[in-house]
């Protein structure tokens, strides 16, 4: 085997090995699925349906695009991995993936652990057209999730999803109904994914190329619809209630895994306190329980808040599916750096099996 082939195999082994158990039909529950999650909402516990006041509104609630008042542009670049990822990378570097015994030893170290890696890039441009805020965004994202079972002869359950596509949307305030903002967005997504089980013998094989052999692919189209209404009778703080209908109709991805419809509701309050601004928010995802494997209410509840300081810093905290999340950002004139740590529940109910994740996002633009 040439050095180039060995490096390619090592990269493939890393990709498959450093990823949650997502195989359809084999798991009774797992990670709650979303097309894309940005770090500011994740730091706030995932509660963003009624906030949606920045570039990620196009993924959460297009009614928030009504906040666009001038031409803006930006590119979000995001990387995310599970808590054990650092140790995993070191073990991968020390393992000969051409040797079955070493692969078995490597897999045994991670029996029962979930692994997750995500990388994404999303360029966007926003502008004002008469009374509406308009945004056009692209998305390129890869998510790799895995879990090792069977200590005696370990088997790797692997899932890889690669998405690419274009999203366009618009939002506006309705002059006929004071306080009401509405929005719509359209998504065209190409998806390629792999869900399979691999033994140490499979991984050590010279011809191991799982994504080429086992992947499925397809294209889909759907709409998101959103409403945000500011309650006129609440005087203590600006209070918004919201509803977002995502992936309507369900995005049929051909041979690949479909992107299911869901309906999310939220409430958020914003208050200026001197030079500071505070936001508190609460979301309930998938109120119709369309994702049948995730019927537990606690898994679908998200709450959190944000404090914006006078200059460049913001701090965030919340509860994501019952687990603590934290986040922060430093914003400059043409760049912003976000950090978030949250726990994804990969079991059937909140509190069963947690996967702590850490993520960084760099946004360049204005």
Tens of pLDDT, residues 4-53: 445 444 544 444 444 433 333 333 346 777 899 999 999 999 999 999 99
**Full set of structural domains in the chain with CATH:** 3-365 (2.40.160)
Segment 345-354 mean pLDDT: 81
What span, in angstroms and rounded, lies between the C-alpha atoms of 15 and 2? 20
Percent of the chain with pLDDT over 70: 90
Q: What is the pLDDT of residue 293?
A: 58
Q: What is the pLDDT of residue 366?
A: 80
Q: C-alpha distances in angstroms, 33 versus 102, 338, 344, 346?
A: 34, 22, 10, 11
pLDDT confidence of 219, banded at 50, 70, 90? very high
SS3 state at 43: helix
What span, in angstroms and rounded, lies between the C-alpha atoms of 57 and 329? 17
Kindly report the number of other CB atoms within 10 A of residue 292's CB atom.
9
What is the DSSP-derived secondary structure letter of residue 192?
A: E
Question: What's the per-residue H, E or C state across 62-124?
Answer: HHHHHHCCCCEEEEEEEEEEECCHHHHHHHHHCCCCCCHHHHHHHHHCCECCEEEEEEEEEEE
Counting Cβ atoms within 10 Å, is residue 183 exposed (0-12), middle (13-18) or buried (19+)?
buried
Percent of the chain with pLDDT over 90: 63
SS3 state at 17: helix
pLDDT confidence of 111, banded at 50, 70, 90? confident
């Amino acid at each position: 085997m040439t050095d180039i082939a060995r490096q390619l195999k090592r990269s493939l082994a890393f990709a498959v090995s450093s990823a949650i158990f997502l195989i359809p039909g084999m798991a009774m529950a797992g990670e709650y699925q979303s097309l894309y999650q940005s770090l500011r909402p994740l730091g706030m516990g995932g509660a963003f349906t009624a906030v949606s006041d920045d570039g990620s509104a196009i993924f959460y609630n297009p009614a928030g695009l009504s906040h666009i008042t001038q031409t803006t542009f930006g590119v979000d670049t995001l990387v995310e991995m599970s808590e054990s990822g650092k140790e995993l990378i070191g073990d991968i570097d020390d393992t000969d993936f051409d040797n079955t015994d070493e692969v078995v030893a490597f897999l045994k170290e991670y029996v029962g652990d979930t692994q997750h890696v995500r990388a994404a890039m999303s360029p966007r441009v926003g502008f004002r057209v008469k009374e509406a805020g308009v945004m056009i965004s692209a998305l390129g994202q890869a998510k790799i999730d895995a879990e090792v079972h069977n200590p005696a002869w370990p088997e790797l359950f692997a899932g890889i999803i690669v998405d690419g596509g274009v999203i366009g949307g618009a939002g506006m305030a309705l002059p006929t109904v004071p306080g009401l903002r509405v929005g719509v967005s359209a998504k065209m997504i190409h998806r390629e994914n792999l869900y399979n089980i691999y033994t140490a013998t499979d991984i050590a094989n010279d011809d191991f190329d799982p994504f080429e052999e086992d992947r499925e692919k397809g294209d889909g189209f759907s709409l998101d619809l959103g409403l945000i209404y500011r309650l006129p009778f609440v005087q203590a703080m600006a209070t918004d209630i919201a509803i977002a209908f995502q992936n309507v109709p369900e995005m049929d991805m051909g041979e690949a895994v479909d992107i299911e419809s869901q309906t999310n509701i939220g409430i958020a309050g914003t208050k200026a306190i001197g030079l500071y601004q505070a936001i508190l928010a609460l979301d309930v995802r998938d109120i119709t329980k369309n994702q049948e494997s995730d019927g537990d209410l606690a898994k679908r509840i998200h709450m959190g808040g944000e404090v914006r300081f006078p200059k460049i810093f913001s701090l965030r905290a919340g509860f994501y599916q019952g687990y603590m999340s934290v986040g922060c950002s430093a914003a400059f004139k043409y760049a912003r750096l976000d950090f978030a740590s949250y726990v994804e529940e990969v079991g059937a109910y909140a509190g069963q099996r947690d996967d702590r994740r850490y993520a960084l996002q760099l946004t360049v633009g204005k």
